[in-house]
Amino acid sequence: MRVMWNRLTVSRPLFGALVLGGVLTSAAGCVDNTVSVYIRQVQAPLVAGAVCMVTPDPFALSIPSGTLDVALKNNYTMTPLIANQLVTRASMDLLRAETSTVNIQGFVVELREGSPDGPLVGPAFSVYQNVVVPAALTATTPGYAWANIQVIPPQVGDALRGAVCQIDRTGVNESCPVYRVVSASRTILVKLTAFGASLGGNDVESSPFYFPVTVCCGCLITFPVDADAPATMTTGIGRDCNNGMPLIGPASCNLGQDFPVDCRYCSTAHPEFCQPRGFSPNGSTCAP
C-alpha cells in the first residue's frame, strides 16, 4: 500500500451552527463494475511487543464501530479491509497476464449526523490512495488488502470538540489544572465508497460501507488504581496519575480512538483531561 495524497475541503455548517470554509472536491467518475469490490470490515490494530500491525486477514480482530475522544485528538482514521471477487486469469501455460487484480485509487467519504438520512457534516470529499487488491484465488475466496484513511479530518474534529466538550474552567490554574468536563456525545456515520480499476481496464466501485463513530470528550480515559503515586511531602495526598507506566496495547497504536486509554499515556501532555479531579502538581488543595 502506498499513500499518494489526501485532498480535503469542508464548507457546510456542522450541526447547523459551526461553519468551516473550503471548496467541495469531486468524486469518482463513471463505473463499469459495482459488485466485484467491496469493503468487508474495519481492521483493528494488533500489538506485537511495542509494534502495531494491521493484517489483510478477514478473520483478524475487527471493530463494528468506532469512538473518537476529542479530548485527546481531532481526527479519526480507519483501516477498511477491501475484498476483490474478480477471479485470477493469469496462466503461465497460456501465456496469459493477470487482469483481475484491482488498483484502488481512492475513496469517497461522506459524514452524516446519526443516520444515513441525517444532516451532512460538511460536503463529501475524496481521499486518494493507491491500494493494490490481489485477484481472488477462487470464486469463493476473494483477495484482500487494507487501507489507512483519515475519514474525520482535523477541521471537522476541531468543530466537533467545540460541540461535544462542555468544559467548566472555574478555579482552573497551574496549581489546579484539571477541567470539569461534561461530554455531549454525538454519533457520526461514515459512508465510505472505494473506487479504482482492474488491470484489465475496467472501472470498479464498491457499494457504500457505513461505519458509525461515537464522538465524545474524555470518555476513553481510564484511571487505574495503580496509576496513583504514593503521597509525598511535595505532591500532597490527592489522587494523581503519575505512578508507573501503562501497559502496551491497542490504545497506544492510535491514542484517542476506539480503545480505552490508560491515563498514564497522556497525564503529562494533557493533565487537564488525564489527571483526576482534585489533582495538583504542587500539592495544593483542589476541589474535586
Which residue, 86, 116, 104, 124, is CA-closest to 9? 124
pTM, rounded to two decimals: 0.83
Whether residue 145 contacts residue 111, with contact meaning beta carbons closer than 8 Å, is answered with: no
Whole-number Å distance between alpha carbons of 44 and 61 = 6
Report DSSP state, residue 155. H
**Average confidence score pLDDT of the chain:** 85
- At residue 273, the pLDDT reads 95
pLDDT digits (tens, 9 = 90+) for 251-269: 999 999 999 999 999 999 9
Q: How are the residues of the chain apportioned to helix, strand and coil, as percentages rounded to the nearest 5?
A: 10, 40, 55
Mean pLDDT calculated for residue range 233-250? 78
pLDDT at 5 over 60: no
Lowest mean pLDDT: which of 39-53, 188-202, 234-248?
Answer: 234-248
pLDDT band at 97 (very low <50, low <70, confident <90, very high): low
Lowest mean pLDDT: which of 11-20, 129-138, 197-206?
Answer: 11-20
Lowest mean pLDDT: which of 6-10, 128-132, 138-142, 173-177?
Answer: 6-10
pLDDT at 3 over 70: no
Residues in contact with 117: Cβ distance below 8 Å, sequence separation at least 6, in sequence order: none
pLDDT digits (tens, 9 = 90+) for 156-187: 999 999 999 999 999 899 999 999 999 999 99
> CA 196: distance to chain centroid?
23
pLDDT band at 109 (very low <50, low <70, confident <90, very high): very high
Whole-number Å distance between alpha carbons of 235 and 224 = 19
Question: Residue 107 CB: number of other CB atoms within 10 A?
Answer: 27
User: Which conformational region is residue 56 in: left (phi greater than 0), alpha (psi within -120 to 50 degrees), or beta?
Assistant: alpha
